[in-house]
Amino acid sequence: MNQFPVLLVEDDPTLREALTETLRLAGYDVLTAGDGTVALQVLDSSAVAAIVTDYQMAPMDGYELLRQVREQYPQLPVLLMTAHGTIEHAVRSMAEGATDYIVKPFSAQSLIDKLQAVIPGVPASSDLVAEDPLTLNLLEIARKVAPSETTVLLTGESGTGKEVFAQFIHQQSRRADGPFVAINCAAIPENMLEAVLFGHEKGAFTGAHQVRAGKFEQAQGGTLLLDEISEMDINLQAKLLRVLQEKEVERIGSHRSIPLDVRVIATTNRNLRKQIETGKFREDLYYRLSIFPIELPPLRQRPGDIEPLAQHFIAECRRTSDTPLQFCDEAINRLRTHDWPGNVRELHNTLQRAAILCAGGVIRARDLYFESTPGASAATPTNAAVTHLSVSTATGSGAFNERRLHDNLQSVEHQLVVDALAAGDGSRKKAAEILGISPRTLRYKIARLRDAGVSVPGGRHAVASA
CA distance 214 to 309: 35
Kindly state the average pLDDT of the residues 147-176. Answer: 94
Paired residues of 250 in beta bridges: 257
Residue 465 burial class via C-beta count within 10 angstroms: exposed 0-12, middle 13-18, buried 19 and up? middle
Residue 278 has pLDDT above 50, yes or no: yes
- Quote the mean pLDDT of the chain: 81
- Would you state the pLDDT for residue 280? 95
Residue 43 has pLDDT above 70, yes or no: yes
- Would you state the pLDDT for residue 451? 63
Residue 194 has pLDDT above 90, yes or no: yes
Q: How confident is the model at residue 373 (pLDDT cuts 50, 70, 90)?
A: very low
- Would you state the pLDDT for residue 157? 95
pLDDT in tens, 245-265: 999 999 999 999 999 999 999
pLDDT in tens, 201-239: 988 888 788 888 999 999 999 999 999 999 999 999 999
- Better pLDDT: 342 or 434: 342
Look at residue 434 and give its three-state secondary structure.
helix
Given the DSSP bridges, would you call strands 30-33 and 326-327 parallel, antiparallel or unpaired? unpaired
**Short-list 338, 334, 340, 370, CA closest to 352:** 370
- Would you state the pLDDT for residue 288? 96
The runs of H, that is alpha helices, within 119-268 are 133-145, 162-171, 190-198, 215-218, 234-246
Are the CB atoms for 209 and 202 separated by under 8 Å? yes
Q: Which CATH architecture has domain 6-118?
A: 3-Layer(aba) Sandwich (3.40)
- Would you state the pLDDT for residue 364? 92
The topology under which CATH files domain 301-465 is Helicase, Ruva Protein; domain 3 (1.10.8)
**Taking the model in full, what pTM does it have?**
0.61
- Would you state the pLDDT for residue 120? 65
Instruction: Show me where the domains of the chain are located.
Output: 6-118, 133-295, 301-465
Range with top average pLDDT, 53-67, 195-209, 234-248, 441-455: 234-248
CA distance 55 to 66: 10
- Better pLDDT: 88 or 438: 438
- Would you state the pLDDT for residue 412? 63
Q: Torsion over CA of 94, 97, 100 and 106, rounded to 10 degrees?
A: -70
The percentage of residues in the chain with a pLDDT greater than 90, rounded to a whole number, is 46
pLDDT in tens, 99-150: 778 888 888 988 998 888 777 665 554 568 888 888 988 988 998 899 999 9
- Would you state the pLDDT for residue 71? 80
CA distance 77 to 75: 6
Least confident of 89-103, 258-272, 376-390, 414-428: 376-390
Domains 6-118 and 133-295 agree in fold: yes
Least confident of 38-47, 95-104, 253-262, 382-391: 382-391
- Better pLDDT: 150 or 446: 150
Q: What share of the chain is helix, strand, coil (3-state, %, to 5)?
A: 45, 15, 40
Other beta carbons within 10 Å of 431: 29
Q: How confident is the model at residue 97 (pLDDT cuts 50, 70, 90)?
A: low
- Would you state the pLDDT for residue 402? 34
Q: How confident is the model at residue 379 (pLDDT cuts 50, 70, 90)?
A: very low
Kindly state the average pLDDT of the residues 397-410. Answer: 38
**Short-list 353, 346, 405, CA closest to 376:** 346
- Would you state the pLDDT for residue 427? 82
Residue 380 has pLDDT above 50, yes or no: no
Torsion 13-19-24-28 (CA) sign: negative
User: CATH assignment of 133-295?
Assistant: 3.40.50.300
Residue 404 has pLDDT above 80, yes or no: no
Q: Does a cis peptide bond (omega within 30 degrees of 0) precede residue 59?
A: yes
pLDDT in tens, 280-339: 999 999 999 999 999 999 999 999 999 999 999 988 877 666 677 899 999 999 999 999
Write 108-116 long-range contacts (CB < 8 A, 24+): 108/22, 108/25, 108/26, 111/19, 111/22, 111/23, 111/52, 112/22, 112/23, 112/26, 114/79, 115/6, 115/23, 115/26, 115/28, 115/50, 115/52, 115/79
